[in-house]
Amino acid sequence: MLRTDPKDDPGGRSTRMGILGLLLVGLGCGTLVYLGNPGNMGICGACFLRDGAGALQLLEDSNPLSYWRPELLGVVFGAMLWMMARRRWQARSGSHAATRFFFGIWMGIGSLVFLGCPFRMLQRLGGLDLTAWIAVPGFIAGVGVGSWFEKRGYNVGKTEPAPAPVGLLGPGLLLLAGALWFQGGVLQGPGPESATAAPAHAPWMYSLGIALVAGVILSATRFCAVTAGRQVFLKDRRMLWAALAMIIGYGVVVLTTQKSVPGLEGQPAAHPDHLWSILALALVGLCGCLAGGCPVRQLVMTGEGNGDAAMTVAGILLGGALSHGFGLVSTGAGTTPAGQTAIIIGIVLALIYGASRSILLTGKSSG
């Protein structure tokens, strides 16, 4: 919908449907917060994969964030069901999976220094978390640099049709983890019957159901927060308008139900180190370009059969585990010295890689 050639949508109906779809996704995310999810965190790719790493016992045993979130299954299998219903599900691979895994790790690290992936960033904006509004220019700058590399020859590679097991492997592993979680007592953290145990979460049936609908919409619209950021620099801004619709939809729910309080102070899962929030989002935006999409988009593509996106998802999950293992993750009090160092290292590595695959490569070819 949001990527349809404008020539094929002269009346703009597809665009309007896409924007409406993202408004509904925003309303759904706000509803999940109202039902019990953490503040301004209806759906967050990086945070929820980090919680999944805890459930798989990749974090320390005492970590209170261990929980296998049903929203992960909902987004992935909602996208899969949409593609299968249209008979367009196709396993694909071949687009530099190692690159995507590597930058998935750094997206996970950058997101946990900022405290949220770009999808949660939109929700924080909708909840009028002013610390997120201050950090948005960093995300746009990171995406802008990535787009600059793309204009000079960078690409993450083009996927090709692959055998079905390649596309089913990622969803299958997520489903296996979900089955172990549903059985109870196998994974770390609360099970499906633990309604009030930490970490904060909505009832699992609502989490799964709303995320399934979100997965369908996100697959149908092909929405990506990184692409929305890229369109700041383009004439075609349909994805950007859809992002605004999601922000509005989310804000309507959390502000009218008093699940969010506008301002700088006391924001849930946020911190006051504005410079490092800006730099962290710059890293996430740049890595999102280099890896071919934001964390939630990677989950959607995994459901659509993209085996390389599944590698990115694995990288994000590992990045979350590393963030906790090495003390990189921020808290409400602020960032850590280790987290600040990681952001600088990540930005430098991403810039070197992007340049080596674009401007430096072009220079050698012309010489």
* Number of structural domains found in the chain: 1
365 assigned to some structural domain: no
6 assigned to some structural domain: no
Residues 34/254, Cβ–Cβ less than 8 Å: yes
Q: Which of 62-66, 164-168, 285-289 has the lowest mean pLDDT?
A: 62-66
Residue 163, pLDDT above cutoff 80: yes
pTM exceeding 0.85? yes
251 assigned to some structural domain: yes
Domain that holds residue 110: 12-360
| Residue 362 pLDDT | 61
For the segment 240-262, the average pLDDT, to the nearest whole number, is: 97
Residue 5, pLDDT above cutoff 80: no
| Residue 366 pLDDT | 46
For the segment 323-327, the average pLDDT, to the nearest whole number, is: 96
4 assigned to some structural domain: no
Residues 342/124, Cβ–Cβ less than 8 Å: no
For the segment 11-26, the average pLDDT, to the nearest whole number, is: 94
- Centroid of chain to Cα 1: 20
Residues 21/241, Cβ–Cβ less than 8 Å: no
pLDDT in tens, 264-297: 999 999 999 999 999 999 999 999 999 999 999 9
367 assigned to some structural domain: no
Residues 2/238, Cβ–Cβ less than 8 Å: yes
351 assigned to some structural domain: yes
1 assigned to some structural domain: no
252 assigned to some structural domain: yes
For the segment 206-233, the average pLDDT, to the nearest whole number, is: 97
Task: Spell out the SS3 assignment of 27-64.
Answer: HHHHHHHHHCCCCCCCCCHHHHHHHHHHHCCCCCCCCC
DSSP states along 149-174: HHHTT------EE--HHHHHHHHHHH
Q: Between the CA of residue 188 and those of 69, 204, 221, 269, what are the distances in Å?
A: 12, 16, 34, 22
Q: How would you class 165 by CB atoms within 10 Å of its CB: exposed for 0-12, middle for 13-18, buried for 19 or more?
A: exposed
